């Protein structure tokens, strides 16, 4: 009996490792396939985007210096609208913008401001401050009014809203950084205004716009142009294209005598859509940039680190850099750079269209997908509970197999990005099809691999795959997390790189179950502690390191959450004093990390150092207040989120007290995997801490339960007649004595289970 346990452990480890290696190669294989389908050009963009904080920034930095030098002589031009996306481009309706797109550096831009949709005023306030800012809440978007005697209309309203929004927006920051600004149009006056709302060198848009802009740029001024709201009724895209064409011709960028109609411009020009323009819904917008001496490519920035993706707060730092001025203070964004040069315009255009489709599809599906999945999982758990005696064959053929498939579903929501589902005729169906396909593939591998005969083998397989895929994604640019059902919604613009809150919750849940399963295969407390702690420490580095996970709350979440499991592995009784010591250690470690990052130069600090600086300056309370407000908003957004805490509590009650609910399969699992119950307790602590620390609130434990419920259903209906864990492998005294009573529970196990053990083993 004692010799079979190491054999099972070896099979589990080797089998999981082999499949992990295969899966980790799939994203690259899918990318390679996509490259061949796109004339092999997109591989350059993806390769450059993996390390956008290093190679791309270094490449863009050298080019930016040339652009800044040119800007000092000829100024810079920013042409902005609202409600314009790349889908609005057409070679017949917008020929000038179409030619600009083919030769410019392009990217999708997220228009997120203070609220879920952004009005034109919001975009102009964001452009002028370099941070999220907005007008007061209104039923209809406010039309920017012309300045009166050199003062922006309604400026006192904008300033009051900015002071109360907790986004630390300093209105007028752009004017402070670049004193020489010329503005055309009502909205441009808002962005060009000083902190007091005063604007100089303002003019309305006239028929001589092209020559006026060219003269202003020749004088070395930063020129801001407002060409209106394309989402407004009656707006003419042909007129917009003609106005942009006049500016391009006047500044030397458009030449009808050339084959491609593009000349050699002398002035950097940025065309961007800075807001949604209406309250009907949010969508990704378009941005394009022409810079002297630079080739076309996909835009990115150090604030997003994603190819072809920027945000509105990036525009102000970009204009400051192009103007040759000193770096802006208090800007949330970063100067835009080109992440991939030399690619074909069709590949670039397809990349930004793919991004728009992915964002829209995620936004549309997420409204109903998770309620449906939650209902299915509740039904699965009820199936395993109520029908197990009367329909045993049905349960064994459905519930325990579906449990593994559903457990693989969360990580499959990320793996869908390994295939180009955005290009399908029906992208929503293609996305769901890829999700089902990945879930079935992982479920089949979990159920048919050499680990299937072990009680916890299929769960270990899915847990290891989940941890490895997410770790791999974090270390290679986090592209799997962008615009997937459990990934980062770019319209919210909460995170563009690193690990998001949903992915963190899933990673931690899978990690705890995995280390508990492997640690239960050995007998010595020291070995169990090492198996638990080493992966957790490595995960702290991966999840928190700047440039990798970059997740401030991951370290205290993991340390506090795993403390109970470590004590159980070491056979040490849990106590409140030891929990307090763990919390103190986690707090000290995080303060040390924040302080060390703060010691670096201000322009090299990550969000760790910036948060420590906010603590010193007294602004941390505003950040915390915003996070608390977001947690409350998420919890109270519907009746389903209000009852979600009760559901989460019920799931953990069921998992930790299976005898009360007659779940003999879970009880049997606790006997075979001695550290599993301690892992579930640690998981409850971890998700509770994650709820408080992270700004996603109740979403964190909800994702954990999404992973835990199907695992409980699988374990409850899995009946393999396997040898027990050797004597001496026991769970540490945990303070409640539940584990010490397992022998008595085992004596009460029904005889039907032992009679059917051989049949169950053959069926599995």
Residue 426, CB-side half-sphere exposure with 13 Å CA sphere: 7
CA distance 704 to 706: 5
DSSP 128-164: HHSS---PPP-SSPPPPPPPBTTB-TTHHHHHHHHHH
CA distance 728 to 2: 11
Report strand pairing: 202-203 vs 181-184.
parallel
**Closest to 243 (Cα-Cα) out of 234, 232, 254:** 254
- Residue 217 in contact with residue 74, Cβ under 8 Å? yes
Per-residue model confidence (pLDDT) at position 133? 95
- Residue 751 in contact with residue 719, Cβ under 8 Å? no
- Residue 374 in contact with residue 103, Cβ under 8 Å? no
- Residue 408 in contact with residue 20, Cβ under 8 Å? no
Per-residue model confidence (pLDDT) at position 215? 94
Per-residue model confidence (pLDDT) at position 315? 97
CA distance 565 to 340: 46
Q: ∠ CA(377), CA(383), CA(389), 5° rounding?
A: 155
Q: ∠ CA(548), CA(553), CA(556), 5° rounding?
A: 115
Q: Which ranges constitute the DSSP H helices of 520-575?
A: 525-544, 554-569
**Closest to 559 (Cα-Cα) out of 526, 532, 531, 527:** 532
CA distance 758 to 754: 8
CA distances from 601 to 597, 598, 605 (A): 9, 8, 6
Determine phi and psi for 105, rounding to 5 degrees. -85, 120
CA distance 711 to 217: 63
- Residue 520 in contact with residue 573, Cβ under 8 Å? no
Per-residue model confidence (pLDDT) at position 722? 39
List, in order, residues 6 or more apart from 208 with CB less than 8 Å away: none
Please, which residues bridge with residue 113 across strands?
A: none
CA distance 228 to 82: 7
Six-digit token string for 721 = 């007649």
pLDDT digits (tens, 9 = 90+) for 677-693: 999 999 999 998 888 77
CA 707 to chain CA mean position, Å:
18
Distance from the first to the final alpha carbon of the chain: 21
List, in order, residues 6 or more apart from 218 with CB less than 8 Å away: 74, 75
CA 223 to chain CA mean position, Å:
34
Per-residue model confidence (pLDDT) at position 243? 96
- Residue 647 in contact with residue 638, Cβ under 8 Å? no
- Residue 703 in contact with residue 410, Cβ under 8 Å? yes
List, in order, residues 6 or more apart from 141 with CB less than 8 Å away: 119, 120, 121, 135, 229, 277, 278, 279
CA distances from 638 to 23, 641, 644 (A): 37, 6, 10
**Closest to 730 (Cα-Cα) out of 668, 674, 670, 672:** 674
**Residue segments in the chain with a per-residue pLDDT below the cut of 50:** 1-6, 9-14, 16-72, 720-764
**Closest to 235 (Cα-Cα) out of 277, 205, 269, 274:** 277
- Residue 249 in contact with residue 211, Cβ under 8 Å? no
Q: Where are the domains of the chain?
A: 56-345, 370-763
Residues shown for the chain: 764
Packing angle, helices 554-569 and 501-519, rounded to 10? 20
Residue 370, CB-side half-sphere exposure with 13 Å CA sphere: 21
Query: Which class would CATH give 56-345?
Result: alpha beta
**Residue 402 burial by Cβ neighbours in a 10 Å radius (0-12, 13-18, 19+):** buried
- Residue 673 in contact with residue 711, Cβ under 8 Å? no
Spell out where 584-643 has E strands.
none
CA distance 623 to 603: 20
Six-digit token string for 378 = 């509740």
């Amino acid at each position: 009996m004692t010799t079979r346990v190491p054999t099972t452990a070896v099979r589990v480890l080797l089998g999981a490792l082999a499949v992990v290696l295969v899966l980790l190669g799939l994203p690259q294989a899918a990318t390679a396939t996509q490259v061949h389908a796109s004339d092999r050009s997109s591989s350059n963009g993806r390769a450059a985007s993996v390390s956008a904080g290093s190679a791309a920034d270094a490449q863009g930095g050298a080019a930016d210096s040339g652009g800044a030098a040119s800007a000092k002589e000829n100024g810079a031009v920013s042409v902005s609208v609202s409600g314009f996306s790349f889908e609005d481009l057409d070679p017949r309706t917008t020929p000038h913008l179409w030619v600009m797109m083919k030769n410019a550096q392009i990217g999708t831009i997220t228009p997120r401001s203070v609220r879920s949709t952004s009005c034109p005023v919001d975009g102009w306030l964001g452009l002028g401050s370099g941070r999220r800012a907005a007008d007061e809440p209104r039923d209809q978007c406010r039309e920017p009014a012309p300045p009166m005697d050199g003062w922006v209309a309604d400026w006192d309203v904008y300033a009051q809203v900015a002071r109360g929004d907790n986004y630390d927006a300093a209105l007028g920051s752009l004017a402070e950084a670049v004193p020489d600004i010329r503005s055309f149009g009502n909205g441009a006056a808002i962005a060009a205004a000083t902190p007091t709302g005063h604007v100089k060198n303002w003019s309305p848009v006239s028929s001589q716009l092209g020559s006026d802009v060219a003269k202003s740029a020749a004088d070395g001024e930063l020129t801001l142009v407002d060409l209106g709201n394309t989402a407004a009724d009656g707006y003419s895209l042909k007129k917009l294209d003609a106005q942009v064409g006049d500016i391009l011709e006047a500044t030397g960028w458009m030449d009808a005598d050339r084959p491609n109609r593009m000349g050699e411009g002398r002035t950097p020009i940025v065309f961007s859509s800075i807001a949604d323009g209406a309250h009907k819904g949010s969508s990704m917008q378009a941005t394009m940039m022409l810079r002297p001496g630079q080739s076309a490519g996909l835009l990115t920035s150090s604030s997003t680190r994603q190819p072809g993706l920027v945000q509105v707060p990036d525009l102000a730092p970009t204009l400051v850099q192009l103007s040759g001025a000193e770096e802006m203070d208090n800007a949330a964004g970063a100067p835009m750079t080109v992440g991939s040069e030399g690619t074909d315009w069709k590949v670039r255009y397809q990349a930004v269209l793919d991004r728009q489709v992915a964002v829209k599809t995620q936004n549309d599906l997420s409204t109903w997908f998770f309620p449906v999945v939650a209902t299915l999982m509740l039904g699965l758990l009820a199936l395993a509970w109520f029908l197990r005696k009367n329909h045993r064959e049905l349960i064994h053929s459905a519930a325990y197999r579906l449990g593994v498939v559903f457990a693989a579903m969360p990580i499959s929501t990320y793996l869908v990005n390994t295939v180009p589902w955005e290009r399908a005729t029906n992208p929503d169906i293609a996305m769901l099809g890829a999700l089902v396909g990945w879930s079935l593939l992982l479920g089949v591998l979990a159920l048919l691999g050499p680990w299937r005969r072990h009680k916890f083998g299929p769960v270990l397989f899915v847990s290891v795959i989940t941890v490895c895929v997410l770790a791999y994604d974090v270390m290679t640019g986090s592209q799997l997390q962008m615009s997937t059902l459990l990934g980062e919604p770019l319209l919210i613009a909460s995170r563009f790189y690193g690990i998001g809150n949903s992915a963190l919750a899933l990673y931690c849940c899978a990690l705890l179950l995995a280390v508990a399963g492997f640690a239960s295969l050995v007998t010595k407390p020291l070995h169990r502690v090492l198996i638990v702690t080493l992966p957790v420490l490595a995960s702290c580095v991966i999840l928190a390191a700047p440039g990798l996970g970059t997740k401030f709350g991951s370290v205290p979440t993991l340390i506090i959450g795993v403390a109970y499991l470590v004590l159980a592995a070491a056979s040490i009784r849990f106590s409140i004093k030891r929990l307090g010591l763990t919390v103190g250690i986690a707090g000290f470690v995080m303060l040390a990390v924040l302080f060390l990052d703060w010691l670096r130069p201000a322009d090299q600090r990550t969000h760790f150092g910036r948060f420590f600086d906010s603590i010193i300056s007294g602004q941390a309370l505003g950040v915390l207040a915003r996070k608390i407000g977001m947690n409350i908003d998420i919890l109270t957004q519907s009746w389903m989120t209000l009852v979600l805490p009760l559901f989460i509590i019920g799931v953990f009650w069921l998992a930790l007290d299976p005898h009360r609910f007659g779940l003999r399969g879970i009880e049997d699992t606790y006997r075979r995997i001695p550290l599993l119950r301690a892992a579930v307790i640690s998981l409850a602590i971890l998700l509770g801490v994650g709820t408080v620390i992270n700004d996603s609130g109740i979403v964190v434990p909800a994702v954990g339960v999404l992973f835990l419920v199907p695992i409980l259903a699988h374990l409850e209906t899995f009946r393999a007649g396997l040898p027990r864990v050797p004597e001496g492998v026991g769970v540490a005294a945990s303070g409640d004595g539940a584990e010490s009573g397992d022998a008595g529970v085992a004596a009460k196990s029904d005889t039907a289970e032992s009679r059917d053990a051989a049949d169950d083993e053959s069926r599995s």
